[in-house]
């Protein structure tokens, strides 16, 4: 019964997305929306397929994927490390809490030209920008996960004479896993935003740069095809991770 | 040679007269929680637990029952006094042979019931096939065999507590410490869990110390009940129940059950009022 309801919900969601796409398609085809403003989704898809088949954007895709990958790995490592450290230092945490709470109100892109001036026009400023976005999310999720480890489980570890390392490996990490996973999912989303937006502003390669280049050259076909590519990749990755996260949460939810 | 044999016989006779040495001994144990206003949780306390005994501790809220269990198990250190388990000093580390079941749900939600139970043996030197055998036995013994592949979230509160007991059981402890393990369960389930606990006690031959709020539970399950005073906790009475080893929850209809419960309450009433006066109703332990 529950499964049927979930399937119905998924179908409804897909229906809403499909309906919106069909509506845009119809509006574009009927001329209500000017083709210079927006291309029909079927045209975007065809253009994207052509771009992918030609290998024209392979370099940009590889550059963006590499930059996002590097920023993501570093963000997760840094965010996790800082989360563990600050969690262990309550005084430091009390001092940092207000800063962390207002962290995402800072428009970090204003620092991007400064990063380019320091590191040059390469992938490094983009990695730093991606990390600036993603690492705090991972850090806060790590602290939330560590906060929520039931005290009794740590007592069980002591009752079974587990060493400190064994306690971390067998109790702390599995117990905090759902929060760590959420942190990683957020870090991925923020890394995408930071890197692609950075490429859009100022870069010599990457999907963001290719979108900006197409925009400036009035090449709507390429611009919309690349926008579609970014949307599809981000949505598929996030929905897959969200589905896994939901399954994990359900397995643990108390009856 | 004859002299040696005579000496050995004399030692045996003496041991029979005195009885076997206690499994656990507490001597003048105190526990004070430091702070701006230090809290004296345990007043100087002496206690001996005999091998194979079922001993319960009752007392008003906040009287130091759980502190007593912490100090006795090695989870906490006494401020003064000594704790020994099988003659060895206990000081801040839970000794081999001691199993603890907590009041809260301590099952691991990320592991299946089987893996939860097997966790108890993960760090032991028990061979893999013997581990498997013990886990299977514990699952059957606690009525969990059909749920071996389930996750704790799919079980009721009582079943999750059985998982925790099974996890302790597989380590074959000679001393099992239970900190209000049935506190969150309804009355019927508690009675049934009490029966299972008695069965476990008989079959394993372990010494059991049960911390409980429920006087009827203590009266039904125990050979001896220690009644603690309001904080700072100390034993103000030791009640021998005199029940036979073969017993179950049907003894609640025995007139003596009512007498024991009444005696426990008569000793506790004033202490509970004192504790309530000190903390207000609903004060913590």
CATH of the domain at A192: 1.10.3720.10
Q: What distance separates the 2 farthest-apart alpha carbons in chain B?
A: 69
pLDDT at B125: 84
Can you tell me the distance from the alpha carbon of B255 to that of B249, in angstroms, rounded to the nearest whole number? 13
> Quick check: is A88 in a domain?
yes
Q: What is the model's pLDDT at position B285?
A: 41
Q: What is the pLDDT of residue B278?
A: 63
B235 touches chain A (CB under 8 A): no
Residue written as token pair 């309450």: B265
Closest of B252, B248, B250 to residue B260, by C-alpha: B252
What average pLDDT does range B250-268 have in this prediction?
A: 91
- Nearest-Cα distance to chain B for A94, in Å, is 21
Taking CA–CA distances from B120, the nearest residue in chain A reads A160
Chosen for mutation from A2, A160, A173 (greatest number of chain B CBs closer than 10 Å) is A160
CATH of domain B23-97+174-285: 3.40.50.300
B5 and chain A: CB distance < 8 Å anywhere?
Answer: no
The C-alpha torsion from A13 through A15 and A20 to A21, rounded to 10°, is 110
Task: Please indicate whether residue B1 or residue B195 has the higher confidence score (pLDDT).
Answer: B195
- Asked whether the beta carbons of residue A160 and residue B120 sit closer than 8 angstroms, the reply is yes
Tell the residue number behind the tokens 């003496």, with chain if given: B14
pLDDT(A1) > 80: no
Q: How far apart are CA B207 and CA B175, in angstroms?
A: 5
Please count the structural domains in chain A: 1
pLDDT of residue B283: 45
Q: What is the mean pLDDT of residues B155-162?
A: 89
Q: So what's the pLDDT on residue B282?
A: 45
Which residues in chain B have Cβ-Cβ distances shorter than 8 Å to A155? 75, 100, 102, 106
- What DSSP state is assigned to residue B238? E
B96–A161 CB contact, under 8 Å? yes
pLDDT reading at A243 higher than 90: no
pLDDT at B284 over 70: no
Q: Which residues pair with B48 in a beta bridge?
A: B25
Of B73, B75, B153, which is closest to A255 when you measure between CB atoms? B153
Q: Do A160 and B108 lie within an 8 Å CB cutoff?
A: no
Q: For chain A, how many residues are written?
A: 255
Q: Which of A156, A162, A252 is closest, CB to CB, to B110? A: A252
Q: How far apart are CA B105 and CA A136, in angstroms?
A: 32
Judged against a pLDDT cut of 70, whether residue B30 lies above it is answered with yes
Task: Specify whether the CB–CB gap between B174 and B209 falls below 8 A.
Answer: no
Q: Is residue A4 part of a domain?
A: no
Residue A255: pLDDT band (50, 70, 90) is: very low
**Hey, are the CB atoms on A251 and B99 less than 8 Å from each other?**
no
Q: Are B204 and B170 in contact (CB under 8 A)?
A: no
* φ, ψ at B226 (rounded to 5°): -95, 125
0.85 surpassed by complex ipTM: no
Contact A195, A156 (CB under 8 A): no
- Has residue A39 been placed in a domain? no
Q: In the structure, what pLDDT confidence band is assigned to residue A239 with cuts at 50, 70 and 90?
A: confident
Distance from CA of B243 to the nearest CA of A (A): 31
Chain A residue nearest residue B103, CA to CA: A152
CA dihedral A123, A127, A130, A131 (to 10 degrees): -170
pLDDT band at B12 (very low <50, low <70, confident <90, very high): low
Q: Read off the pLDDT of residues A39-51 as tens digits, 9 standing for 90 and up.
A: 999 999 999 999 9
Mean pLDDT over A64-68 rounds to 96
Is there a contact between B153 and A254 if contact means CB atoms under 8 Å apart? Answer: yes
- At residue B17, does pLDDT exceed 60? no
Q: What is the mean pLDDT of residues A110-122?
A: 87
Mean of the pLDDT values across residues B180-201? 83
Mean pLDDT of all residues in A63-87: 96
Q: Which one of B100, B104, B111 has the shortest CB-CB distance to A159?
A: B100
pTM score of the predicted model? 0.80
- Structural domain of A82: 60-252
Residues 120-149 of B with CB under 8 A from A: 120, 122-123
Instruction: Output the pLDDT for position B225.
Output: 96
Higher per-residue pLDDT: B76 or A5: B76
Q: How is residue B250 annotated by DSSP?
A: G
Residue A116 is predicted with a pLDDT of 87
B156 near A CB under 8 A: yes
The answer to whether residue A168 is domain-embedded is: yes
Confidence of residue A177 (pLDDT cuts 50, 70, 90): very high
- Please, how many CA atoms are within 13 Å of residue B155, restricted to the half-sphere of its CB? 27
Whether chain A has a CB inside 8 Å of the CB on B153: the answer is: yes
Report chain A's mean pLDDT, rounded to a whole number: 91
Q: Domain extents for chain B?
A: 23-97+174-285, 107-172
pLDDT number for residue B249: 86
List the structure tokens of A167: 């306690």
Chain B residues 182-221 within an 8 A CB cutoff of chain A:
none
Q: B27 φ, ψ to 5°?
A: -125, 115
Provide the pLDDT for residue B142: 86
Tell me what percent of the residues of chain B surpass a pLDDT of 90: 59
**Averaged pLDDT of chain B:** 87
In the numeric block, which tokens belong to residue A86?
């600050």
In which residue are the tokens 């209809």 written? B253
More confident residue, B120 or B266: B266
Confidence check: pLDDT of B15 > 70: no
Q: How many Å lie between the alpha carbon of A162 and the closest alpha carbon of chain B?
A: 8
List the 29-68 stretch of B: residues with Cβ below 8 A of A: none
Cβ contact, residue pair A159, B108, below 8 Å: no
Angstrom distance (rounded) from CA A95 to CA A81? 18
How many other CB atoms sit within 10 Å of the CB of residue B14? Answer: 9
Integer Cα distance of A218 and A199 in angstroms: 18
Q: Are B210 and B179 in contact (CB under 8 A)?
A: no
- The answer to whether A245 and A182 are in contact (CB under 8 A) is yes
**Does the structure show a pLDDT above 80 at A213?**
yes
Report how far residue A197's alpha carbon sits from residue B202's, in angstroms, rounded to the nearest whole number: 70
* Token pair for A156: 């069980």
Exposed, middle or buried, B145 (CB in 10 Å: 0-12/13-18/19+)? Answer: middle
State the residue for tokens 């929680």.
Answer: B33
What is the three-class DSSP state of B236? strand
Contact B153 A175 (CB under 8 A): no
> By the 8 A CB rule, do B78 and B71 touch?
yes
Whether B93 has its CB under 8 Å from any CB of chain A: the answer is yes
Judge: B104–A254 Cβ closer than 8 Å, yes or no: no
């Amino acid at each position: 019964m529950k499964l049927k309801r979930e399937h119905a919900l998924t179908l409804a969601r897909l229906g809403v997305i499909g309906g919106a796409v069909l509506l845009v398609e119809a509006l574009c085809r009927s001329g209500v929306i000017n083709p210079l403003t927006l291309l029909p989704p079927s045209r975007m898809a065809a253009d994207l397929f052509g771009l992918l088949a030609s290998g024209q954007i392979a370099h940009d895709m590889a550059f963006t994927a590499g930059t996002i990958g590097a920023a993501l790995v570093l963000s997760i490592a840094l965010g996790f490390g800082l989360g563990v450290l600050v969690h262990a230092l309550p005084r430091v945490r009390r001092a940092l809490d207000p800063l962390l709470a207002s962290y995402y109100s800072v428009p970090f892109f204003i620092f991007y030209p400064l990063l380019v001036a320091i590191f040059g026009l390469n992938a490094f400023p983009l990695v730093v920008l991606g990390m600036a976005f993603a690492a705090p999310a991972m850090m806060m999720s790590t602290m939330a996960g560590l906060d929520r480890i039931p005290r009794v489980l740590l007592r069980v570890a002591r009752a079974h004479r587990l060493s400190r390392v064994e306690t971390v490996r067998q109790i702390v990490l599995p117990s905090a896993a759902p929060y760590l996973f959420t942190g990683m999912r957020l870090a991925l989303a923020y890394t995408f935003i930071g890197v692609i937006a950075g490429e859009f502003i100022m870069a010599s390669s990457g999907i963001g740069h290719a979108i900006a280049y197409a925009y400036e050259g009035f090449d709507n076909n390429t611009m919309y095809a690349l926008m579609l590519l970014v949307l599809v990749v981000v949505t598929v990755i996030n929905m897959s991770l969200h589905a896994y996260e939901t399954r994990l949460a359900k397995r643990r939810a108390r009856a | 040679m004859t002299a040696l044999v005579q000496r050995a016989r004399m030692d045996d006779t003496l041991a029979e007269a005195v009885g076997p040495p206690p499994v656990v001994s507490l001597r003048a144990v105190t526990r004070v929680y430091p702070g701006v206003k230090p809290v004296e949780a345990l007043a100087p306390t002496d206690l001996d637990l005999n091998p194979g005994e079922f001993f319960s501790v009752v007392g008003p809220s906040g009287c130091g029952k759980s502190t007593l269990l912490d100090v006795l198990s090695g989870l906490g250190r006494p401020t003064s006094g000594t704790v020994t388990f099988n003659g060895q000093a206990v000081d801040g580390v839970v000794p081999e042979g001691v199993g603890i079941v907590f009041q809260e749900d301590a099952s691991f939600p990320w592991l299946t019931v089987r893996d939860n139970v097997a966790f108890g043996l993960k760090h032991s030197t028990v061979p893999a096939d013997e581990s498997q055998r013990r886990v299977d036995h514990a699952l059957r013994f606690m009525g969990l065999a059909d749920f071996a592949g389930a996750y704790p979230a799919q079980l009721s509160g009582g079943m999750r507590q059985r998982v925790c007991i099974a996890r302790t059981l597989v380590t074959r402890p000679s001393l099992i410490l239970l900190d209000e393990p049935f506190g969150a369960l309804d009355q019927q389930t508690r009675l049934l869990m009490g029966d299972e606990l008695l069965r476990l006690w008989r079959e394993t031959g372990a010494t059991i110390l049960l911390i409980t709020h429920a006087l009827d539970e203590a009266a039904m399950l125990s050979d001896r009940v220690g009644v603690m005073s309001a904080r700072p906790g100390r034993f103000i009475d030791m009640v021998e129940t005199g029940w036979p080893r073969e017993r179950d929850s049907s003894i609640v209809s025995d007139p003596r059950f009512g007498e024991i419960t009444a005696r426990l309450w008569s000793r506790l009433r004033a202490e509970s009022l004192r504790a309530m006066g000190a903390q207000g109703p609903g004060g913590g332990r």
